[in-house]
Chain A
Amino acid sequence: MSRGRREIAEPAAALQVLARARTDEIVVLSESTRQDWPPLSTRPELDISITGSMGKASSFGLGLALARPDMQVWVLDSDGALLMNLGSLVTIARAKPANLIHFVYDNEAYDTTGGQPTPGAGIADFTALALGAGYPVARAYDQLEDLERDLASILAGPRPALVVLKVASLGRRPMVGGMRPMREAFAAIREYLASV
C-alpha cells in the first residue's frame, strides 16, 4: 500500500540484494523476514528463524556473534520486532560485536497480524536510534539501487552496523514454508559450528 513515503515496493527484492551477496554468513531471521527469505536463501542450512520470543532475533544474533567471532552473523530483523526489544540496540552497541550486521525490515506495520501500524509508524527513526545507542554505523535505504550500490562497502565496513530497509507493507499473507523449525535449525547449526 502506498503511504506517501519512499519505500522499496517489493520487500523480497531488498532481501534478494542481500542473498546475492551472501557467502557463509549465519542468518538469523525474525517473524517478518522469514516470510520472504526462504526462497531467496543460498545457504538455507545456515538460516534460523527466532520466533515466539517477542522480538529477540537481534539478541540471539548477538549471542551467536560473541560465541563465534570468526563467523559473520546477519540478523534480518523487522521494525515491529525491534520495537519490542529496543534495548537490544544498546546491549549490542555495548558488546561491540565486530561480526554482526543488523538489517531491519522497516514497513511501519505489523504485517503478520494484518498490517496495523506500529507505534513507530511515521515517527521512529531506527538509524538515529541505533546511532544514539552506540552503533558506529547506521544507514537506511528506500531505493534498491542505493542498497545495491552500497552493500559491498557496508559488508566491509565497521560493525556492528544497522541497515534499515524501508519496504512496503504487504499486509497479512499466508505463512510461507521452507524454513526448518527453529529447534531443528538450532541443533543442526550448533553441530555445524562445532565442526568448523
Chain B
Amino acid sequence: MAVLNAALQAATVLDELGRSGVTHIVWLPDSETGYMYEAMRASPLTLVPVCREGESMAIAAGLIMGGKRPVVLIQSTGLYESGDSVRGLCLDLQLPLLLMIGYRGYPGRGRPPADSAARFLEPILDAWGIPHYLVDSDATCHHISEAYEQAHATIHPAAVLIGKEYNG
C-alpha cells in the first residue's frame, strides 16, 4: 500500500530517475523509502529485490558491465553491512553508481542525529570519498539526477541520503 509522504513524493523521485535514464532499481525496502514500492512497481523501471544489501552493489556492477543504468536503494544500516561491497566493487571498480540511502534516524535539518545510524552515515561516506547530498523533500529531489550525473561524469559512486521530515 502506498503511503503518502507529503515531504517527498515517490513520483518526484521516479521522475528524477527517469530523467537520468535509469533502467533498474536494486533495492531492499526500508522505513524511509518503503512507501515508494507501489510507485516503483508501476513505473517502467525494473525492480531487483535483494535479500541483503551487500548483494545490491554486486548486482548493480553486473548490470553496468552489461550496459544498463542501475541505482541502488537501501537503508544506511544496510550500507554499513555492505562495507566490503562498497570498497571492493563500488570503489575499486570505479562504478558510476548512484547509491540512494535511506537516512535512518534523520532528525531534520539543523537537529542532532537521532541515533548512531544517523550519526555515522555522513562520516563513513566521507571516509570512503563518496560525495553525498540530502534529499528530504520534493524541493531537494533535483540532487538525485545531479548526483547520478556526477557519478557518471566522475566514474565514481555518489550518494543521495533520503531523509524524512518526520520520524513517523
Residues of A bordering B, CB below 8 Å? 28, 48, 50-54, 56-57, 59-68, 71, 85, 87-88, 90-91, 94-95, 182-183, 186, 189-190, 193-194
Q: A63-B59, A88-B55 are in contact. Are A186 and B65 (CB under 8 A)?
A: yes
What per-residue 1/0 map shows which CB atoms of B49-80 lie under 8 Å from chain A? 11110110111111111111010000000000
Chain A nearest CB: distance from B60 CB in Å?
Answer: 6
Query: Which residues on the B side are within 8 Å of A88 (C-beta)?
Result: 51, 55
- Supposing A52-B88, A64-B62, A183-B93 touch, asked if A190 and B24 sit within 8 A by C-beta, the answer is no
Assembly CA distance A159 to B48 (angstroms): 18
Q: Which 10 A-B pairs have the closest CB atoms?
A: A63-B62, A67-B66, A87-B51, A52-B88, A59-B58, A56-B58, A64-B62, A63-B59, A53-B88, A63-B63
Given A53-B84, A94-B49, check contact A190 B58 (CB 8 Å): no
- What's the A-B contact tally at a CB cutoff of 8 Å? 115
Are A67's CB and B68's CB within 8 A? yes
Q: Is the CB of A68 within 8 A of B66?
A: yes
- CB <8 Å contact, A68 and B67: yes
Give the docked Cα–Cα distance between A151 and B26 (Å): 32
Known A-B contacts A66-B48, A91-B50; the reply to A56 vs B67 at CB < 8 A is no
B7 contacts partner chain A, Cβ-Cβ < 8 Å: no
| A59 engages B66 (CB within 8 Å) | no
A140 to B64, CA, bound (A): 32
Q: How many residues of B contact A (CB 8 A)?
A: 31
Q: A51-B88, A52-B84 are in contact. Are A67 and B65 (CB under 8 A)?
A: yes
Q: Which of B88-115 contact A (CB under 8 A)?
A: 88-89, 92-94
> Quick check: B24 and A66 within 8 Å, CB to CB?
yes
CA distance A58 to B61 in the complex (A): 12
* Nearest Cβ on chain B to A51's Cβ, whole angstroms: 7
Decide if A63 touches B92 in the complex (CB within 8 Å). Answer: no
Residues of chain A contacted by B87 (CB below 8 angstroms)? 52-53
Complex Cα–Cα for A67 and B46 (A): 11
Within the complex, the shortest CB–CB distance from A39 to chain B, in Å, comes to 24
Is B5 on the interface with A (CB-CB < 8 A)?
Answer: no
B85 within 8 A of A: yes
Q: Besides A53-B84, A66-B59, A91-B48, 20 other CB < 8 A contacts? A: A28-B62, A52-B88, A52-B92, A54-B85, A54-B88, A56-B57, A59-B55, A60-B58, A62-B62, A63-B62, A64-B65, A66-B48, A66-B68, A67-B63, A67-B64, A91-B50, A186-B61, A190-B66, A190-B67, A193-B67
